[in-house]
Amino acid sequence: GWTRHPAPMTAPSLVVSNLGARANPRVARRASSRARRVAPPRASGGERRQTIEESDASDASSGAEGRASSLPLGLTRRNLIDAAFVAVSIPLWKDIAHDLGYLQGPEDAPADLPVPPPGSGYVTATFSGGCFWCMERPFDELDGVIATTSGYTGGFVDNPTYHEVGAGRTGHRESVQILYDPRAVSYEQLLQTFWRQVDPTRDDGMFLDSGFQYTSAIYVADESQRAAAEESVRALTEEGRFPGPIKTAIEPASAFWPAEKYHQDYYRRNSTRYGFYRFLSGRDEFVRV
């Protein structure tokens, strides 16, 4: 009452070894020799790891030598990356030192407001839309805009600094004042540009920046500007363009304090830091929708 199972397959050398005295010695020797030729000798675990590590080290060394040899003065790609990082970061740390008030120079003086020529008919419009670096360029690109100036307005402190405004101690918002020719561009067109740059549903900041100083506002110079601003809010509310109610303040224009010189035209003069900041802020993702 038992069942016979076939023996499992084994390597020739094991078969020969298991036959013992019953095997033909010459056949056994030939089979054993054949098995050794077919199967290469197996290295121990430690030897295999050592071989792999030596191979990887050799490949890395040859790759590094190839990279170094293709660059002048024996430099490596890592050297170039480190140098590029330093070149980009030096202006960044310099600006941070300015912002915190630790570094003072001519560029920390307030910028001059552009003065319209007598009889030019130029007028001003003032908007707050978060970081003023990001608000200048859209208006600069409009025909009829003469100049844009980053600054601070709406607060109760005279001659505020960037550090003071950023700390939220002045009641000011970061703002941009636009000098424009109303014969070439209308206030309504400026409003359209403004609404395309902001998230007006927030009353606690703007994109990456938090705090009242970064909230949106329209500072109106006269009743015609107020009427146009209020009408634009009504139209946008009916259109349902934004995902919530519009919380942008409409307030009378008050003293406008130009920001420090190094903040003016920042997107042109410090394009690397500006581009990095704008990318992180999420502003572009929002305004494209």
Structure confidence by residue, pLDDT tens digits, 29-54: 444 444 444 444 555 555 555 554 55
Place of tokens 């298991």: 18
Beta partners for residue 153, in sequence order: 173, 256
Determine the 3-state secondary structure of 244 from DSSP. coil
Q: Please identify every stretch of the chain with a pLDDT value under 50, giving residue numbers as ranges.
A: 1-40, 52, 60-69
Catalytic residue among 111, 131, 206, 217: 131
Question: DSSP label at 143?
Answer: T
Cα separation of 165 and 258, whole Å?
Answer: 12
Cα separation of 179 and 139, whole Å?
Answer: 10
pLDDT for 275 equals 76
Counting every residue written for the chain, the total comes to 289
Cα separation of 287 and 289, whole Å?
Answer: 5
Cα separation of 278 and 282, whole Å?
Answer: 7
Q: Is 218:194 a contact under the CB 8 Å cutoff? A: yes
Is 131 a residue of the active site? yes
Dihedral sign for Cα atoms in the order 236, 239, 241, 245: positive
**What is the helix, strand, coil percentage profile of the chain, to 5?**
50, 15, 35
First to last CA, the chain: 81
pLDDT for 50 equals 56
Does this model's pTM top 0.75? My answer is no
